[in-house]
Every structure is written in structure tokens, then in C-alpha cells.
Amino acid sequence: MAEVPSTFHLKPGQSAPDFTLPDGDGNPFSYSSLIEGRKGLVIAFVCNHCPFVVHLADQLGEFAAECDEQGVGFVAISSNDVENYPADSPENMVQFAKSSGWNFPYLYDESQEVAKAYSAACTPDFYLFDSDGNLTYAGQFDDTRPGRGGSPTGDDLRLAVENMLSGQPTPEPWYPSSGCNIKWKPGEAPEYFG
């Protein structure tokens, strides 16, 4: 498994690109509906089969529940090419979310345009926006990776949420997430990737 880092093309304070995407059952969710009435929103680009996502999948469900208790929303998006990677199909997304204890929307970016708008490069790739839709953090969940010892804690993303809720910036440098590359459709890999 080749490990690819985040790109950091979105900069601190930049507005969240808008989107409307379906979940694995076809129910649509928009960015505006996900952040409405929330103190912030975590957007995670993930997929079903990536070992880097599987490594933290259970903890991600627990972390998202913590966020919800604090008034912060959470959404996951899969942008992988399901024709060539059928394990990431919407039907399998539903099963993966259920088995991982995810009680947040898990959306399917079939066109891959949302991943491109966020300059997402890997799974997982995390973004945190405040209630005004401004980027307050992008980077890793924590410094653990599969096969390198240690259990996921979410320390980096948790600190970013705490900082946002207290009105404080998350000091840079933000450490990139890393994982499997997003599986782009043939000829669709964006310029920032690779």
C-alpha cells in the first residue's frame, strides 16, 4: 500500500466548497444542511477498503459522537472510482459504516468533483470548518498509522476542535494526514495529485 500525504491546498480561513451528495442509500445531503445550527463541521474523505481508514474506523465513530455532543457536525465522503474498486460501492459504504459504528452521514462523490474542490489526496483526509464555514484545521486524525504500533486517539483533530470551540486558532504546522491515494477514474487525477 503506497502512502500519500495531504496536499494542504486549502488554506486557513478559506471557505468550505459547497456540495450536495447522496449517502449510500441515495439520500441527499448538502454542505449547508450539515453545518446548519452547528458550531462547526468535520469533513473526512475516506473509503471502505483502505487500511489507513480501517485502522481508525471504530475510533472515528466514537470521535464523531463526541463532536456531536459538543455541537460539531461530522460527515464522511468517499470519492473512489467504484467501477475499478467495487469494495467502495455505495452498498458497501452502508455496511462499512454500520460495522464501524458510524452514526453520521457517509456520502458518495461519484463525479469526484467534491474531492477535487477540497484538494483531497488520500484516505483519510480531514478538514474542520467553523460555524461560518471557514477552515480552522486540515491534517491528520493523530500520528498513528497501521502496522506501526499504537492505537488511534484522534489527538490532533480533537485539539483542533477544542481550539475552534474556544475561539483559538490551531497553531501551525498542521501535520498532514496520510493514507491510500484517492482512486481517481482513468484520466481524472487532478494536477495537485502526484
Domains of the chain with CATH codes: 4-181 (3.40.30.10)
pTM of this structure:
0.96
Residues 6+ apart with CB under 8 A from 102: 57, 60, 61, 64, 76
Give the separation between CA 104 and CA 125, rounded to whole angstroms.
Answer: 16
pLDDT score of 129: 98
- 189 Rama sector, left if φ>0, alpha if ψ -120 to 50, beta otherwise: beta
pLDDT score of 194: 54
pLDDT score of 172: 87
The stretches in the chain having pLDDT less than 50 are none
pLDDT score of 191: 80
pLDDT score of 181: 94
